[in-house]
Amino acid sequence: MQKLYKTVKNAAGAEIEEKKSRFIASVKPVNSEEEALDFISMLKSKYWDASHNVYAYYIGGNNIIQRFSDDGEPSGTAGLPVLEVIKRMELQDLVVVVTRYFGGILLGAAGLIRAYSKSASAGIEAAGIITRQLCTEVSIMLEYTLFGKVQNVLMSKGYSIESIIYAQDIDITVYIPAGTNEEFIKLISDTTNGRALVEFKENTYITLYKE
């Protein structure tokens, strides 16, 4: 599994105009090709009267899936430029649909490539770019007397604390980068003199930051 990847944060849209043609970009994060196709189908129904509904999507992981469609525009002038924007920005797990309402003025091949690329970029910018990291969920059980010291160490090391449960003992849930279990055990053991119980749970992706 990838340890880091970039994708979009939200579903969003953006609109530009080129020589009286309207270009409406619709962007959505997706986890599968089925989700991408459902989104494309929904937009084709919504913009049924449009001249073209061009799309591209890129699904990462073990089996990369990348598809695009010019939807009637000259070959290579629409869907491929949208896909190239996605790849140039090093994004995955998203679908971009660019809807065009023809304004009566031909743009030419270069003009179409420029317009579809610009529209896709605007849509992605509106959706926001985030970085996701593969992490391991960890539970730390400890006495109240050790809590302040452990919390300070976790925060100083930049670990993401998910929750703190105050019961008979304290249960801290924290996310650590996948593959760093041994280093983390040593850190907690050194901090508590071996008086904390550390339990490793499932791996999951968490959002690090938005660009």
Q: What is the pLDDT of residue 210?
A: 53
Q: What is the distance, to the nearest Å, from the Cα of residue 68 to the centroid of all Cα atoms in its chain? A: 19
* Whole-angstrom distance, CA of residue 185 vs CA of residue 100: 55
Ranges of CATH 3.30.70.240 domains, the chain: 131-210
Ranges of CATH 3.30.230.30 domains, the chain: 4-127
- If one looks up domain 131-210 in CATH, what number appears? 3.30.70.240
Encoded amino acid at 208, one letter: L
* Whole-angstrom distance, CA of residue 90 vs CA of residue 48: 31
Q: What is the pLDDT of residue 181?
A: 96
Point out the residues of the chain with pLDDT beneath 50. Answer: 211
Among 1.10.3080.10, 3.90.1410.10, 3.30.230.30, 3.50.50.60, name the CATH number for the domain at 4-127. 3.30.230.30
